[in-house]
């Protein structure tokens, strides 16, 4: 499928989400029976990806930067098992901990992390999660990171519904004053035990949803980062290294790779990035595009950021950026979040 074709599909899904449609499918009706049969086989091979324990990473990071009278930044993680860090064993290995520690180091300011994401969540759980995140009006998060979409694909949730629910969550958070960064649906075609033709169908469905998510999020004032194949060609080349023991959730290195890709966008949303890095770099193939085209390109290239730019005669435009990834070390929380 060409970039223009992907853009048209994404625009149709996003329009259906905005205007209440729900009938646009991610795969043709003729493929559904085959998809379900292969999915059942893959589920038996992969397992359900559950672990008895998910580390609690909530707490204060970068406490050494505390200055009397200056409050800590607040970071909240929403979404599914990818946002929680299911599959790792230590709090410091979770995406939330890695992001909190990275922001604290760059801002030279402590960061309080709270997590309302839950394993297995789909986009229809975001309304509940946002209510939890905004429960205390005096403690509205400075930045929210949402990672969601994989379970919508595997449960065959209509993409228009998924995008509508995600866009509503972003709108509530932005209205409350929080910046929002969304890690879009990962490429399920990289799951090692999944075979063809399910692998191709999963990749197609994942990328279509990721592109449509980007349109919905950007239109509500959020930013997206394509998680794609978590992240870069090395993931498909080295699935045993970047997948965890259950062959479904990312490994420690996989989560670190995802956090490295999301961190620059989180920092940019908080105004922590140098001004010269906010300008598009033609050498890195960055620039302004109609939002649907930017969304389609981002869905095909992991680690690509899309953010709103300007209105256009035929619809909004977006800035597509390929930011340099920043590695951050593991860090454990030193106190409950503040």
Residues with a known catalytic role: 81, 246, 249
- Burial of residue 230 (number of CB atoms within 10 Å: 0-12, 13-18, 19+): buried
Task: Provide the pairing of β-strand 73-79 with 59-61.
Answer: unpaired
Q: CB neighbours of 311 closer than 8 A, spacing ≥ 6?
A: 317
Smallest Cα–Cα separation from 78: which of 139, 137, 142, 126? 126
CA-based end-to-end distance of the chain: 47
Task: Provide the pairing of β-strand 111-115 with 73-79.
Answer: parallel
* Other residues' Cβ atoms within 10 Å of the Cβ of residue 138: 4
Helix intervals (H) in 180-324: 198-219, 233-237, 239-242, 252-269, 291-300
Q: Residue 101 has which token pair?
A: 């520690």
Could you tell me which residues are beta bridge partners of residue 115?
A: 77
């Amino acid at each position: 499928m060409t970039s223009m074709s992907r853009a048209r599909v994404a625009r149709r899904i996003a329009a259906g989400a905005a205007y209440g449609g729900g009938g646009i499918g991610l795969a043709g009706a003729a493929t559904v029976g085959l998809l379900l049969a292969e999915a059942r086989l893959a589920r038996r091979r992969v397992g359900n990806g559950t672990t008895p324990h998910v580390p609690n990473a909530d707490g204060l990071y970068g406490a050494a930067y505390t200055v009397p009278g200056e409050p800590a930044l607040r970071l909240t993680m929403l979404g599914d098992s990818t946002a929680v860090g299911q599959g790792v064993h230590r709090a410091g290995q979770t995406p939330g901990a890695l992001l909190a520690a990275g922001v604290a180091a760059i801002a030279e300011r402590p960061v309080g992390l709270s997590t309302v994401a839950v394993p297995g969540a789909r986009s229809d759980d975001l309304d509940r999660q946002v209510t939890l995140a905004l429960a205390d009006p005096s403690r509205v998060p400075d930045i929210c990171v949402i990672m969601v979409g994989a379970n919508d694909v595997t449960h065959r949730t209509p993409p228009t519904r998924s995008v509508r629910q995600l866009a509503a969550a972003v709108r509530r958070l932005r209205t409350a004053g929080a910046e929002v960064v969304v890690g879009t649906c990962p490429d399920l075609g990289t799951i090692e035990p999944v075979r063809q033709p399910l692998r191709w169908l999963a990749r197609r469905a994942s990328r279509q949803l990721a592109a449509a998510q980007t349109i919905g999020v950007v239109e509500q004032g959020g930013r997206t980062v394509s998680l794609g194949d978590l992240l870069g060609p090395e993931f498909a080349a080295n699935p045993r290294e970047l997948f965890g023991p259950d062959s479904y959730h990312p490994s420690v290195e996989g989560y670190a790779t995802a956090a490295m890709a999301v961190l620059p966008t989180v920092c940019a949303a908080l105004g922590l990035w140098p001004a010269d890095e906010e300008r598009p770099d033609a050498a890195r193939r960055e620039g302004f595009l109609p939002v649907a085209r930017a969304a389609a390109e981002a869905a095909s290239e992991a680690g690509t950021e899309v953010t709103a730019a300007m209105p256009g005669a035929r619809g909004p435009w977006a800035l597509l950026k390929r930011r340099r990834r920043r590695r951050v070390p593991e860090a454990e929380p030193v106190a409950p979040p503040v």
